[in-house]
Chains A and B, each alone.
Chain A
Amino acid sequence: MINKLLTNSFKKAKKENRPALLTYTVAGDNTKKKSFEILKSISKYSDICELGFPHNTPIADGGQIQTSSYRALKNGIKINDVFSIVSKFKKLITDKPIILMGYYNMIYQYNENKFIDKCKQSKVDGIIVVDLPYPENKKFASKCKKEKINFIQLISPTTSKKRLKNIIKDSHDMIYYISMLSTTGGKLKVHPRVILKEYFKIKAQNRSKNVVIGFGITEKTIKSLKKADGLVVGSAICKEITNSIKKRQNAVTNVANIVKRLKNKIK
């Protein structure tokens, strides 16, 4: 075990006989203060909170997360703000794991070691780097491990068998399975049965790894994938923020409500 908080969240969900619910929001969407409030309010229902550090050239994100990212950047969010959001959150809520997610150029510009130091200081539990695949990520992953931070490997439907084995062997406590060939926020175009079949192939390799499924998960689809260790919802939440802003409604309560509904669907 590399990170206690993450592992415990999965254990707790398992005890309740349900998958862990992972939520993704973009740090600074739509302001630094608001995004902290949103994070705080959804953490009541979410088991693990993913927080995106926005990039303006995201090659794997669909429209919803792009909109959230551009909005956050326009309002001036900086990497150090992302860390301060995490710190503040962690001081308030000590038992909820936080995973940072983003693109490698931002880590590279910040400096890898400094980035990991900052993660440690602000008590980040896991990191997902969208465009730093295996095996190129080995060095960075081992630096994370040293600081008890989970580097979360991604697996997709195109990952070959041999590659799958190697990735799992070098992975930490948690693995992220991308449900289909898509950017984030795509419509679920693959039958849940097929997704779960692939999912169990990964589980069969090593049952101790917590495998979560993401991409295409919404209020409509979440129930059909209940058998997984964890399920990630991102674009559906970002969309809710966009809609709330458009309608001049309170994004914090609207987003908390959607996460509450998501949670109820997998109970």
Chain B
Amino acid sequence: MKIKKKIPLIDQHDEFGFWGEKFGGSFIPETLKKPIEDLTKEFKKLRNDQKFLSKKNFYFKNFIGQPTSFVKLNNLTNHFGGAQIWAKIVSEANGGAHKIYNATVHALICKAMGKKYIVGDTGAGYAGKMLSMAAKKFGLKCKIFMGAKDIKRQKPNCDAIRKNGAEIVPVYSGSQTLVDAVSECMRYWVSNCDNTHMCVGSTVGPNIFVKICGWSTSQISKELKKQIIFEFKKIPKKIKLINCVGGGSSAYGFWSEFIDYNKKQIELIGVEAGGPKKSLLHAAPLSRNAKIGILHGAASYVCQNNEGQIKETESISAGLDYPGVSPLHCFLKDTKRARYTYATDEEALNAYKIIRKFENLNPSLEPCHAFAEAIKIAPRLSKETIIVVNSCGDANKDKNILKKRLGSIYDK
């Protein structure tokens, strides 16, 4: 298994859609074969179509707002006295998270295909919020599938979704979180694929959804590469790009332009959700060596039992609370291009506390997992080492959880 150079990772799959011959694919009911084939053809056409690209660029610039800033966290760096800690503040994007890239592209594709309805899944509520924003912008009718447990814990995003005129469909089956929301959304699409477009909220699902999402979020690393060269006049000798990984869309977007570099120069570190300290229900299939399985139409490392039943997961961060992971990350893991680890709920909360103390930054619980790893490794590293954390979401959605767990720190 080997990564090819100079070809985007999203395109390095075989004719059946597998990366490294075993990750990804399209394990779908017959009914979805045709709509997925149509979408695959359309996307292939659109990504090479100048008119579509300039439209996309226009909305990325004027609707999403780009580039998001790249800043040095001076106080944090000085406090730990090791590596330089930088952050790419992707949460500055319209809506407050990276999910807006994929949502905007899907809305544009939906329009191009002449469909009037768009549906999507959401965990933390950001994918849903962004899809509802994009749907509103482009005049599409929108339904968001969300687990009942997540609706409760991510209320601010739910309010935003409804304000944008989208309908939230609560999902009561299973663990009532993201995994069930994605299942229900797929079921809805099976029944309505003739007039409805489906957006999968991360780099998961059947092959084409992984590709569209990865293509959209790669905007992050395109910006970052320019910003790094601007700051340092060249690509520095030691960089560590740290990103949280749930489905893995922000991590792929954050890394895509840097995959061709030697890992000794640019190390890619993915941080999964370890869950509460003593819980066994972590959502960390990569770092805790889960077996390969098929979930939501793709083969990837999946938290499951011996029988192939998908395991319930538990994490303080709804956006990372997912038993599967992108086939792209499985490929990056097996080729050893990226390294994966996890942070517990407590470590993520502690990272939040530290960030709030030293910096004027308010990262959501998802990127706090990445910050936890940065804080852990920074003190041992040289001053020439550049750590960049993708601060891919804003903590506004987590205010209730943060108030409950950390008291008044949130209001500081």
Chain A residues packing against B (C-beta within 8 Å) = 55-62, 66, 70, 73, 78-79, 103-110, 130-134, 136, 154-160, 163, 178, 181-183, 186
The 3 closest A-B CB pairs, nearest first, are A109-B308, A158-B34, A105-B294
Stretch at the interface among B21-29, B62-70, B129-137, B257-265: B21-29
- Asked if B35 is an interface residue, CB under 8 A from chain A, the answer is yes
| Chain A contacts for B291, CB-based, 8 A | 109
Residue pairs across A and B with Cβ atoms less than 8 A apart, 23 shown, are: A56-B174, A56-B309, A57-B179, A57-B183, A58-B183, A59-B183, A60-B187, A60-B190, A70-B173, A79-B307, A105-B293, A105-B304, A106-B307, A106-B309, A109-B293, A133-B30, A136-B16, A156-B33, A158-B30, A158-B34, A158-B193, A163-B33, A186-B191
Query: How distant is the Cα of A160 from the Cα of B186 in the complex, in angstroms?
Result: 21
Q: What 1/0 flags go to B273-301 for Cβ under 8 Å of A?
A: 00000000000000000011111110000
- Report chain A residues within 8 Å CB of B361: none
Q: A163–B32 Cα gap in the complex (Å)?
A: 13
Question: Which of A66, A133, A160, A163 has the most chain B CB atoms closer than 10 A to its own CB?
Answer: A133
Q: How long is the Cα–Cα vector from A158 to B26 in the complex, in angstroms?
A: 16
Identify which of B30, B192, B309 contacts A73 (C-beta below 8 A).
B309
Residues of chain A within 8 A (CB-CB) of B191 are 181-183, 186
Asked, given contacts A130-B29, A178-B31, whether A108 binds B309 with beta carbons under 8 Å apart, the answer is: no
Contact present for A131 and B183 (CB under 8 Å)? no
Could you say which interface size class chain B belongs to?
A: 35 or more
Complex CA–CA separation, A133 to B36 (angstroms) = 12
- Given A60-B187, A131-B294: A55 touches B28 (CB 8 Å cut-off): no
Q: Are B28 and A133 in contact (CB under 8 A)?
A: yes
Is the pair B173, A106 in contact by a Cβ cutoff of 8 Å?
no
- Identify the closest chain A residue to B38 (Cβ): A158
Q: Is the CB of A183 within 8 A of B174?
A: no
Is B306 interfacial (CB 8 A cutoff)? yes
> Residue among A105, A107, A134, A163 with the most chain B CB within 10 A?
A105
Please tell me which one of the listed residues A70, A105, A132, A156 contacts residue B31 in the complex, with CB atoms under 8 A apart.
A156
Give every chain B residue within 8 A of A183 (Cβ-Cβ). 187, 190-191
**Sample of 14 more A-B contacts, CB < 8 Å, known A158-B31, A183-B190:** A56-B310, A57-B309, A59-B183, A59-B297, A60-B187, A105-B293, A105-B304, A109-B304, A154-B29, A157-B31, A158-B33, A158-B34, A163-B33, A181-B191
Residues in chain B near residue A182, CB distance under 8 A: 190-191
Say whether B33 contacts A159, CB under 8 Å: yes
A155 contacts B307, C-beta separation under 8 Å:
no
Interface residues of B (CB under 8 A from A): 16, 25-35, 173-174, 179, 183, 186-187, 190-194, 291-297, 302, 304, 306-310
Which of B183, B291, B292, B297 counts the most A-chain CB atoms under 10 A from its CB?
Answer: B183
- B294 contact set on A, CB distance < 8 A: 103-105, 108, 131
Q: How far is the CA of A133 from the CA of B17 in the complex (A)?
A: 13
The verdict on A106 contacting B29 (CB below 8 Å), with A57-B295, A181-B192 known, is no
Q: Point out the residues of chain A lying under 8 angstroms from B31, CB to CB.
A: 60, 156-158, 178, 181
- Distance to closest chain A CB from B127 (angstroms): 18
Q: Which residues of B contact A104 (CB under 8 A)?
A: 27, 294
Scoring B191, B193, B295, B304 by chain A CB atoms within 10 A of each residue's CB, the highest score goes to: B191
Question: Could you say which of B25, B27, B193, B291 has the most chain A C-beta atoms within 10 Å of its C-beta?
Answer: B27
B4 to chain A, nearest CB (A): 23
CA distance A256 to B353 in the complex (A): 62
Residues of A within 8 A of B190 (CB): 59-60, 181-183
Would you give the shortest CB distance from B336 to chain A, in whole angstroms?
A: 24
Among candidates A55, A59, A159, A186, residue contacting B30 with C-beta atoms closer than 8 Å: A159
Taking a contact as CB atoms under 8 Å apart, the answer to whether A55 and B309 are in contact is yes
Contacts of B302 in A (CB 8 A): 105
Measured CB to CB, the nearest residue on chain B to A62 is B187
Determine if B29 and A59 form an interchain contact, defined as CB atoms under 8 angstroms apart: yes
Q: Which residue of the partner chain, among B28, B33, B310, contacts A57 with CB atoms under 8 Å?
A: B310
Q: Taking A104-B294, A181-B193 as contacts, is the C-beta distance between A131 and B28 under 8 angstroms?
A: yes
Chain B residues, CB < 8 A from A157? 31
Least CB distance, A222 to chain B, in whole angstroms: 21
CA distance A110 to B187 in the complex (A): 25
- In the complex, what's the smallest C-beta–C-beta distance from B37 to chain A, in angstroms? 8
In the assembly, what is the distance between CA of A60 and CA of B189, in Å?
10
CB distance from B173 to the nearest CB of A (A): 6
A contact residues around B26 at 8 Å (CB): 133, 136
- Contact A55 B35, beta carbon cutoff 8 Å: no
Question: In the complex, are the beta carbons of A131 and B308 less than 8 A apart?
Answer: no
For residue A107, which residue of chain B has the nearest CB?
A: B308
Cα distance A79–B308 in the bound complex, in angstroms: 10
- Chain B residues with CB below 8 A from A133, complex form: 26-30, 33
A186: nearest chain-B partner, CB-CB = B191
Given contacts A73-B309, A131-B27, A181-B190, contact A158 B297 (CB under 8 A): no
Contacts of A61 in B (CB 8 A): 187
Give, as a whole number of angstroms, the nearest-CB distance from A128 to chain B: 11
A residues less than 8 Å from B187 (CB atoms):
59-62, 183
Question: Nearest-CB distance from A223 to chain B (Å)?
Answer: 24
Instruction: Give bound CA distance, A103 to B297, whole Å.
Output: 11
- Report B-chain residues with C-beta under 8 Å of the C-beta of A106: 307-309
Chain B's closest residue to A189 (CB) is B191
Residues of B within 8 A of A110 (CB): 307-308
Contacts of A109 in B (CB 8 A): 291, 293, 304, 306-308
Shortest Cβ gap from A216 to chain B (Å): 11
